[in-house]
Amino acid sequence: MQHPETGFLPGPRHTLPGAPGGPLAGLTFAAKDLFDVAGVPTIGGNPDWGRTHPVPSAHAWAVQRLLDGGAKLVGKTITCEISLGILGYNQFYGTPPNPAAPGCLPGGSSSGSASVVAAGLADVALGTDSGGSVRVPASLCGLYGLRPTHGRISIAGLLAQAPTFDTVGWFTRDAATFGRVAAVMFGEALPAASAAGVLLAEDAFALADPEVSAALQPAAERLGAQFGGLTRMTLGEPGELETWAGQRNILQRAESWATFRPWIEKENPTFAYNIARNLAGGSAITAEQVAVAKVVRRQVVDHARRLLEGGAILCLPTTPFPAPPLGLPLPEIDALQARIGITTSFAGLCGLPQLNLPLGKVGGKPCGLSIIGWRGSDERLVAIAHDLAWSGLGVARTERWG
């Protein structure tokens, strides 16, 4: 498998100027190759997808939003094949580098977007998150990255995967830039940072590598000290986090198969083995399995409402380990992906916003702490990230957003 020098798609870069004088003027951004850019093929990480779909005539909503805000598009980025991947590799276009952990996987499927931001080749990059594809690369590459409330940001012009999971997010290297983009994407000023306490999910921390848990605990304690106190709790009963991950996987794979089945049956496209295998697995999921998974989802949503609707935020490791090395055999990749699913499934099942904070390091490699709020608390999470980043630096709030 090739290893490109950057996370950008090979070939000429497609660039577009931003609107003059906008709030994002002076910033550059990249777009994951699931987002339509007018006049540019959307390849989606698979040559047969690009070959069998028309060149878009309009920009995706999120691309247009950033352009209207004044940011300049500087290219499209590599994605895992039709967005089906969580560690960042692509059989056709290569695995983008992880500038924060050389020789390691960047996380996916928004791998290229995270890579170019971590390398300083763009200030901002658009990604998508269905099962963790913004949160995971943000953690492994040491970036701020948000999975927003499901349905909060338009997915128009996006190569969709799983409709009840798909979201549009973005990456930046710093909290101030992240806040500027959030104000544009959400269309409103960020609120004051506040929380009715911080819940530390001890069972989620216990599932992480001990070094990751130890690296993130001080950040969680600092978060609690600033925002209403820290309460140590267990998110689920013994074994429940793993159960939730399994049921989320059933729903997402069933939806992915339903999304891609008409194209697959018509075009018989070529896939890497791991992608073909996972799609075949999705095709075998029964209606009864989906019905059970939907019952579990409703139960988890009710649980999340009780925990978070009153304004508390939940914190847990974004990924249970730092970036794994390149070149691992598929069984080891599968095991790592299963572990990641345990920490990403709670927000995914419930449609909750989850923001990665790049606050930990293990062996010189980043590992992120996540904060999760109830639906619609996206801006509040971003404001909390700002206050946490700037605390103790003597910077006035009015200066923080510039």
- Point out the residues that are catalytic: 32, 109, 133
Query: Which residue, among 339, 317, 369, 335, has the nearest Cα to 242 in the 3D structure?
Result: 339
Q: How far is CA 387 from the centre of its chain?
A: 22
In the beta sheet, which residues pair with residue 354? Answer: 147, 372
Query: Which residue, among 141, 135, 124, has the nearest Cα to 177 in the 3D structure?
Result: 124
Query: Which residue, among 75, 100, 85, 59, has the nearest Cα to 7 in the 3D structure?
Result: 75
**Distance (Å, rounded) from C-alpha 170 to C-alpha 309?**
25
**Angle (nearest 5°) at CA 275 between 136 and 94:** 65
Structure tokens at 293: 């998974």
Query: Which residue, among 182, 180, 184, 154, has the nearest Cα to 166 in the 3D structure?
Result: 154
Q: DSSP assignment, residue 356?
A: E
**Distance (Å, rounded) from C-alpha 29 to C-alpha 283?**
36
Q: How far is CA 17 from the centre of its chain?
A: 26
Distances (CA, A) of 381 to 142, 193, 199, 350: 18, 8, 14, 16
- Among all chains, which residue has been given the structure tokens 């018509």? 266
Tell how many helices (H) and how many strands (E) occur in the chain. Answer: 13, 10
